[in-house]
Amino acid sequence: MKRIVKTELATMWLENDVLFFAWKEQVSIDLSGAQKTVARRMLLQQGKPYRILCNINGVRHIEKDAWHYLSGEGAELVEELVLIAATPLERVFSKYISTRMRSAPIKVFPDMETARKYLMQHR
């Protein structure tokens, strides 16, 4: 049985040794929200690093401090980050994350199906 964790800003769950993470639609992320969301993710992970499939579709805005936190300290226990970025804005977000976060490899895909296939083929 998968355990689903929902916060004000995101939904996350573990499935087949992958942590699935989806930001909510039209979300604006500030530093406090980023910190609270990462804290909930850490509880879900229970100290174990995971490959994370993160859907950034629908993210409307991220404050600069939140960017720095998510790509630095907030990236703890991330073994690999797989991003879903379909729109031009989401691709800009993913490019920023890719240049700032050096603690784990990052892949970007345009849709969930392609990202899942990648994860299944590269276990």
Query: Under CATH, which number does the domain 4-113 receive?
Result: 3.30.750.24
Q: Which residue has the tokens 């073994």?
A: 79
Give the tens place of pLDDT for each residue, 20-40: 999 999 999 999 999 999 999
Could you tell me which of 81, 118, 77 has the C-alpha nearest to residue 100? 81
| pTM across the whole model | 0.91
- Domain spans of the chain, in order of start: 4-113
**Which residue type, as a one-letter code, is found at position 76?**
E
pLDDT for 73 = 92
For residue 52, give both structure tokens.
């994370």
pLDDT for 12 = 98
Residue 72 has pLDDT above 70, yes or no: yes
3 state SS of 56: coil
Residue 1 has pLDDT above 70, yes or no: no
pLDDT for 104 = 92
